[in-house]
Chains A and B, each alone.
Chain A
Amino acid sequence: MSSEAKTQETQSEQLLYASVLEIGMYIGLAILFITFALYASGILAPAVPLGKISSYWDQGVDKYLEAANHDYWHMEHPPTGWAWVSMLGKGDFLNFVGIAILSGITVICYLAIVPALLRKKDRAYLSMVILEVLVLALAASGILAAGH
């Protein structure tokens, strides 16, 4: 295969990745702005009242979660990991939908180019793409916990 043909093939994967990324980015941003408008306008009541949020954000994350859970959420454990999904009825947590889309679109982009790499039998890049998907999935899973 000539180098020009190889470049063309590479470009087709790149264009596919770009197209998926573009769609996901617009969807994520649109949802983020809409949900934030619902939250900040008070249309959808937040889990932490708007007037109280500033009393928490100067504390470390562990103290913030503990205090907010004690004051408002009253859950057995403060909501970390994917616990926000169970609180989507609240204006502040609804914003996490857009944030999750923006943070998750890269995995979709990587998965989108897998068929092209399989067709080309590009084992090196296929391995790296699969590994990257696993790395991002591990990060997103919430398994990797860390704290002060």
Chain B
Amino acid sequence: MPIRTGLLSGVKLRVSLFMLFILLAPAMALASGEPVAGSVSDPVSWWVWPAVLLVITFLMGIVAVLGGVGGGVLFVPIISGFFPFHLDFVRGCGLLVALSGALAAGPGLLKANLASLRLAIPVALISSTFAIVGAMIGLALPTNIVQTAMGATILGIVVLMLMAKKSVLPEVKKADNLSSALRICGVYTEESTGDEINWKIHRTPTGLLMFIGVGTMAGMFGLGAGWANVPVLNLLMGAPLKISVATSKFLLSITDTSAAWIYINKGCVIPMMVVPSLVGIMLGSFIGVRILRVAKPTFVRWIVIGLLLFSGVKALTKGLGLPFII
């Protein structure tokens, strides 16, 4: 049915563009230099931006679930690129948004034996330590440098999303010595087949070293780190995809905790930004999970890639002081 397929593709494209426009409409007005209520020039309408944040993060929550990414990776570049909040507060807020999402998901994932505490503990020790280092570096560097580096990182994530493959059940012939000594292994039931899957990991030392970089970037940009956790756990260390995704989500509750404290102690947390964003992302995630049951979210992945590309270029140009044309 090529005609129907073509029609569907056209509809999907229009829906994608519509959602993209909705997500960025207020931001575009700001970026184009039009006066926007709630900015410095109009401090009377204080509630406008929290309300906009609530709506935008609600949509972000839906898109993030359908696109298979964490909320933080969308939140920080979009909010810092297109809204009047300084990057310091956006990063603090982004970490708390990602942290809350991970805290909410963590208990269920651990109880279902999908997130592995034994896998998470050594990884978390490294990533949370370096998240502190990253947060300190990020807060010490000039904002334009952090913004530029974040733009480059976001564009790197776009490439990663386009290129990286996922392996549902990677072949691990033999667990390495370190993971054997630490007894990092497990069993979970694959619901679709009813099979019991025994899993183990390999290349543990290399994988742990990779989390130095992952933790540093999570702290420096406040992005969360699911985009990096999953490829390292799944493709490099050989954990099954479900275990990797669940453990990555749980890991954020530890990694982001350490970085969040640095931002909290520095004063980078404004409750008027944090709470609407947190509520928006959580409500959006609940709705996203419901939509996920009935929708084929492949096209949403392209929205996510489009949004990241757009906000990555915006962050890069903002950091470099170049004009951004939309």
- Contact present for A51 and B44 (CB under 8 Å): yes
1/0 contact trace for B118-154 toward A, CB 8 Å? 1001101100110010011101111100000000000
Select A21's contact among B106, B181, B185, beta carbons within 8 Å: B106
- Contact present for B275 and A95 (CB under 8 Å): yes
Question: Which residues of A are at the interface with B, using a C-beta cutoff of 8 A?
Answer: 3, 6-7, 10-11, 13-15, 17-19, 21-22, 24-25, 28-29, 32-33, 36, 39-40, 50-55, 57-61, 64-65, 78-82, 92, 95-96, 99-100, 102-107, 113, 124-125, 128-129, 131-132, 135-136, 138-140, 142, 144-148
- The answer to whether B209 has its CB under 8 Å from any CB of chain A is no
Known: A54-B49, A61-B268. A139 touches B125 (CB 8 A): no
Chain B residues with CB under 8 Å of A14's CB are 110-111, 113, 116-117
Name the CB-closest residue of A to B49: A54
Bound CA–CA A71/B100 (angstroms): 32
1/0 contact trace for B160-201 toward A, CB 8 Å? 000000000000000000000111011100000000000000
Chain B residues with CB under 8 Å of A57's CB are 84-86, 89, 270, 272-273
Q: How far is the CB of A109 from chain B (nearest CB, A)?
A: 9
Known: A55-B40, A61-B88, A135-B132. A103 touches B46 (CB 8 A): no
Q: How far is the CB of A108 from chain B (nearest CB, A)?
A: 11
Can you list 13 A-B contacts (CB < 8 A)? A15-B110, A18-B110, A55-B40, A58-B85, A58-B86, A61-B267, A103-B260, A128-B121, A135-B125, A139-B259, A142-B265, A146-B262, A146-B266
1/0 contact trace for B275-314 toward A, CB 8 Å? 1001100000000000000000000000000000000000
Q: How far is the CB of B254 from chain A (nearest CB, A)?
A: 5
- The answer to whether B264 has its CB under 8 Å from any CB of chain A is yes
Bound CA–CA A145/B116 (angstroms): 33
Which among A22, A81, A138 has the highest number of chain B CB atoms within 10 Å?
A: A22
Q: How far is the CB of B187 from chain A (nearest CB, A)?
A: 6
Known: A80-B265, A124-B181, A144-B262. A135 touches B46 (CB 8 A): no
- The answer to whether B96 has its CB under 8 Å from any CB of chain A is yes
B95-112 at interface with A (beta carbon < 8 Å): 96, 99-100, 103-104, 106-108, 110-111
- Contact present for A21 and B272 (CB under 8 Å): no
Q: How far is the CB of B186 from chain A (nearest CB, A)?
A: 7
Name the CB-closest residue of B to A91: B271
Select A54's contact among B39, B103, B121, B186, beta carbons within 8 Å: B39
Select A106's contact among B38, B100, B257, B279, beta carbons within 8 Å: B257
- Contact present for A6 and B117 (CB under 8 Å): no
Number of A-B contacts (CB under 8 A): 195
Q: How far is the CB of A39 from chain B (nearest CB, A)?
A: 6
Known: A10-B118, A106-B254, A128-B125. A139 touches B261 (CB 8 A): yes
Question: Which 3 A-B residue pairings sit nearest by Cβ, starting from the closest?
Answer: A95-B271, A18-B110, A22-B107
What is the interface residue range for chain B against chain A?
35 or more
Name the CB-closest residue of B to A24: B103
Bound CA–CA A3/B267 (angstroms): 48
Main secondary structure of the interface of A (DSSP, over half): helix
- Contact present for B264 and A103 (CB under 8 Å): yes
Name the CB-closest residue of B to A55: B43
Name the CB-closest residue of A to B198: A3
Chain A residues with CB under 8 Å of B38's CB are 54
Bound CA–CA A73/B264 (angstroms): 18
Select A131's contact among B125, B186, B257, B261, beta carbons within 8 Å: B125
- Contact present for A15 and B111 (CB under 8 Å): yes
Chain A residues with CB under 8 Å of B244's CB are none
Known: A136-B257, A139-B258. A18 touches B106 (CB 8 A): yes
Chain A residues with CB under 8 Å of B181's CB are 124
Chain B residues with CB under 8 Å of A147's CB are 139-140, 266
Bound CA–CA A57/B186 (angstroms): 46
Name the CB-closest residue of A to B129: A135
Chain A residues with CB under 8 Å of B107's CB are 18-19, 21-22, 25
Select B271's contact among A10, A21, A99, beta carbons within 8 Å: A99
Given pairs A7-B186, A144-B265, 4 additional interface contacts (CB within 8 A): A39-B272, A103-B257, A131-B125, A136-B258
Chain B residues with CB under 8 Å of A61's CB are 86, 88-89, 139, 266-268
Known: A10-B117, A22-B107, A102-B96. A96 touches B269 (CB 8 A): yes
